[in-house]
């Protein structure tokens, strides 16, 4: 039986569900670990690890350690992309989960500046680098695990399981800090902030058990395994540079815009100039994460009906619109509207996020797809996600006006729309030779709906 006729049978809904839940289990844990750090960087770390400088410099220093992880993502994409393209998606994803879990638990054990002095923030940076390395290989591999295992007409929906890990991880992280913040600043800043980090050890055990039970993707088995390959990163840079550049643009909102709307907004709202209680903004973020968790899969389902790129267009445009009134209500301490608009913004950002894994997976042919996708997303996350909070903070400090941050958010939206408009979409149903060989292109489709 040829691979082209065997593949539809392999891409059953049962297999797709197993792969989807395995991707969800791993990504939700990895994003939980990532957002635990992000929340602590916005609220706790300026005082715990950088107490010798004023709040503005402490915030920039804290966001600097936050940004370090983003700049490790491309390296993680190269390392784990090589493993995933050569040996399979499953072993690469197992390693990334272990690295992330160990690094996160160690952050929870780290002494503060008052105990270890300068060694404390240095070790914090090293552990954050390990987190970034792991995330750099996680998202691309988890996306391929779910998308490549899905039936052709349901790729965006099953790819949504990978995307669901982000809001679920954010929900767990912000929820944990919300509970701790409600116990008072003395608890939060003394020992409470460590609890979410240490809890990661339980989640990692669950994630490893789930991933151990999942099969390799049918696309890897049919089109990549056993084929003679060049070095994945060299193939990616030579043959996939244009779609990688477009992918870099697409994640401007889903990465950069997202961290401005979460991490930076939390820091802005709790700054002395605004003076909003940490429990208020953490509560709003927690409810918003719940909203995002609820809407991600329905939006992914719509992506199969309307086209994944169309969902991205709608989400990006609406996010630019909603961000403006959010700034106003935060400055005016309108608590009810803060909760409403934070949730509404996360809903619109979900439109830019829900179909992203499938859209980006189908921008590349199977050969070196893991590396290409991880590099494109990782570099985009490094630039947009890593620098956006610091750029927003610098703009606010330089202008004294939050409208400069609003303009920056609008710029990120424009860049994302450009990337999505020109992004190619390829089909995995072409024969092995015409899909694997870069000189014989696969069938290019206009939307994920037909892929």
- Interval 41-81: pLDDT, tens: 777 777 777 665 555 666 666 666 667 877 888 999 999 99
DSSP result, 182-204: HT-HHHIIIIITHHHHHTHHHHH
445: enclosing H helix or E strand = strand 444-445
Q: How high is the pLDDT of residue 112? A: 75
For residue 186, how many C-alpha atoms fall within 13 Å in the half-sphere facing its CB?
A: 0
* Sequence-separated (6 or more) residues with CB below 8 Å from residue 66: 37, 38, 41, 128, 263, 386, 389
Q: Which stretch of DSSP H or E encloses residue 99?
A: helix 89-109
For each of the domains in the chain, give its residue range(s) and CATH number, in order of start.
Answer: 3-450 (1.20.1250.20)
**pLDDT for res 9:** 45
pTM: 0.82
Token pair for residue 178?
């919300």
Residues of the chain with pLDDT under 70: 1-11, 50-66, 223-227, 429-451
What distance in Å separates the CA atoms of residue 372 and residue 358, rounded to the nearest whole number? Answer: 14
Alpha carbon 354 to its chain centroid, in Å, reads 11
Q: Token pair for residue 5?
A: 């006729």
User: CA dist 327 to 201, 315, 340, 381, Å?
Assistant: 37, 19, 13, 24
Rg (the chain; Cα; Å): 21
């Amino acid at each position: 039986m040829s691979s082209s006729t065997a593949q539809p049978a392999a891409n059953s809904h049962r297999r797709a569900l197993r792969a989807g839940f395995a991707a969800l289990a791993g990504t939700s844990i990895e994003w939980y670990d990532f957002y635990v750090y992000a929340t602590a960087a916005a609220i706790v770390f300026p005082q715990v690890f950088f107490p010798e400088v004023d709040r503005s410099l402490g915030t920039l220093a804290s966001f600097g350690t936050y940004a370090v992880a983003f700049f490790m993502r491309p390296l993680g994409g190269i390392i784990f992309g090589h493993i995933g393209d050569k040996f399979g998606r499953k072993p690469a994803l197992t390693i990334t989960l272990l690295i992330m879990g160990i690094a996160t638990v160690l952050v929870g054990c780290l002494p503060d500046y008052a105990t270890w002095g300068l060694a404390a923030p240095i070790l914090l940076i090293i552990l954050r680098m390990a987190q970034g390395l792991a995330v750099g290989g996680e998202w691309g591999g988890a996306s391929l695990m779910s998308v490549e295992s899905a039936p052709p007409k349901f790729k965006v929906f099953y790819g949504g399981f990978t995307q669901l890990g982000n809001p679920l991880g954010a929900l767990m992280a912000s929820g944990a800090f919300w509970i701790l913040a409600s116990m008072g600043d003395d608890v939060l800043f003394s020992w409470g902030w460590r609890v979410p980090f240490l809890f990661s050890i339980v989640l990692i055990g669950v994630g490893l058990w789930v991933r151990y039970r999942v099969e390799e993707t049918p696309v890897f088995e049919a089109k990549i395994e056993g084929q003679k390959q060049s070095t994945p990163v060299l193939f990616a840079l030579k043959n996939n540079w244009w779609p990688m550049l477009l992918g870099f643009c697409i994640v401007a909102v889903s990465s950069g815009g997202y961290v401005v709307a979460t991490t930076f907004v939390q820091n802005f709202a709790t700054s002395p100039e605004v003076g909003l209680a940490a429990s208020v903004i953490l509560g709003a973020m927690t409810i918003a994460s719940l909203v995002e968790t609820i809407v991600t899969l329905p939006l992914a389902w719509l992506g199969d009906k309307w086209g994944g790129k169309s969902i991205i267009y709608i989400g990006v445009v609406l996010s630019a619109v909603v961000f403006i009134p959010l700034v106003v209500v935060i400055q005016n301490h309108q608590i009810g509207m803060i909760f409403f608009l934070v949730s509404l913004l996360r809903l619109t950002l979900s439109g830019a996020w829900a179909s992203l894994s499938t859209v980006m997976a189908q921008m590349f042919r199977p050969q070196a797809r893991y590396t290409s996708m991880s590099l494109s997303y990782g570099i985009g996350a490094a630039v947009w996600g890593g620098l956006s909070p610091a750029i927003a903070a610098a703009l606010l400090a330089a202008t004294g006006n939050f409208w400069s941050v609003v303009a920056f958010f609008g710029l990120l939206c424009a860049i994302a729309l450009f990337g999505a408009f020109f992004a190619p979409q390829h089909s995995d149903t072409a024969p092995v030779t015409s899909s694997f060989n870069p000189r014989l292109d696969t069938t290019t489709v206009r939307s994920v709906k037909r892929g």
